[in-house]
Amino acid sequence: MAKLFSKIKAIWTSHPRLPMAVRAAIAATLAWLAAGIVPDALDDTPYYAPFGAVIATTMSMAGSVRESIQAVAAMIAGGLVAWVVGWIPAPALFIIGLTVAGAVLIAALRWLGPMRSWVPTAAIFTLIVGNTEADYIGSFALLMLLGAAVGIGVTLVFPPLPIAVATAALNQLRTATAVQLDLLADSFEGRRPSTDREVPSTTISRSSAEDLRRARTEMHDATALVHDARRGNRRARRHQQTLEDLSERSARLDRVAVMVAELRDLVLHPQHSPVTPDEEITIPEEIWIPLISALRSTAEALRNPDEAERHTDIISTRFDQIMRIRDTVPGAPVYLVDALILTLRRGWMSVG
For 328-352, write each residue's pLDDT tens digit: 766 656 666 777 777 777 776 666 5
User: 266 and 191, same structural domain?
Assistant: yes
User: 204 and 145, same structural domain?
Assistant: no
User: 148 and 223, same structural domain?
Assistant: no
Own/partner contacts of 185-189, CB < 8 Å, gap of 24 or more, are 185/292, 185/295, 185/296, 185/299, 187/267, 187/268, 188/267, 188/288, 188/291, 188/292, 189/292
CATH code of 193's domain: 1.20.58
Per the prediction, the chain carries an average pLDDT of: 79
User: 171 and 109, same structural domain?
Assistant: no
CA angle, corner 245, sides to 241 and 246, nearest 5?
A: 115
- Averaged pLDDT for residues 170-177: 90
Q: The domain containing residue 172 runs over which residues?
A: 163-351
Q: Is 88 exposed, middle or buried (0-12, 13-18, 19+ CB in 10 A)?
A: exposed
Q: Is residue 301 part of a domain?
A: yes
User: 135 and 198, same structural domain?
Assistant: no
Helix (H, G, I), strand (E, B) or coil at 193: coil
Q: Is residue 3 part of a domain?
A: no
Least confident interval from 79-88, 131-140, 183-192, 242-251: 183-192
State which of 134, 157, 180 marks the end of a domain: 157
Alpha carbons 300 and 351: distance in angstroms, whole number = 10
CB atoms within 10 A of CB 111: 9
Q: Is residue 273 part of a domain?
A: yes
- Averaged pLDDT for residues 125-140: 77
| Residue 104 binned pLDDT confidence (cut-offs 50, 70, 90) | very high
Q: Is 26 exposed, middle or buried (0-12, 13-18, 19+ CB in 10 A)?
A: middle
User: 149 and 24, same structural domain?
Assistant: yes
User: 176 and 122, same structural domain?
Assistant: no
User: 168 and 145, same structural domain?
Assistant: no
| Residue 199 binned pLDDT confidence (cut-offs 50, 70, 90) | very low
Q: Is residue 202 part of a domain?
A: yes
State which of 157, 180, 198 marks the end of a domain: 157
User: 317 and 293, same structural domain?
Assistant: yes
The strand ranges marked E within the chain are: none
At residue 102, the pLDDT reads: 92
Q: Is residue 1 part of a domain?
A: no
User: 248 and 296, same structural domain?
Assistant: yes
At residue 53, the pLDDT reads: 92
Q: Is the dihedral of CA 94, 96, 102, 104 positive or negative?
A: negative
Polymer length in residues for the chain: 352
Q: How many domains are there within the chain?
A: 2
At residue 275, the pLDDT reads: 46
pLDDT over threshold 50, residue 201: no
Q: Is residue 5 part of a domain?
A: no
Helix (H, G, I), strand (E, B) or coil at 58: coil
User: 119 and 215, same structural domain?
Assistant: no
User: 189 and 253, same structural domain?
Assistant: yes
End-to-end CA distance of the chain: 39
The number of helices, as runs of H, and strands, as runs of E, in the chain is 13, 0
Alpha carbons 347 and 294: distance in angstroms, whole number = 11
| Residue 31 binned pLDDT confidence (cut-offs 50, 70, 90) | very high
**Cα 297–chain centre separation:** 28
Q: Is residue 6 part of a domain?
A: no
Over residues 269-317, the pLDDT tens digits come to 655 555 444 455 566 677 778 888 888 888 888 888 777 677 777 777 8
pLDDT over threshold 90, residue 16: no
pLDDT over threshold 90, residue 30: yes
Least confident interval from 81-90, 178-187, 203-212: 203-212
CA-based radius of gyration for the chain? 29
Q: Is residue 32 part of a domain?
A: yes
pLDDT over threshold 60, residue 190: no
Alpha carbons 225 and 168: distance in angstroms, whole number = 13
State which of 115, 137, 157 marks the end of a domain: 157
Q: Which of 269, 229, 293 is nearest to 64 (CA)?
A: 229
How far CA 72 is from CA of 80, 142, 147, in Å, comes to 12, 9, 10
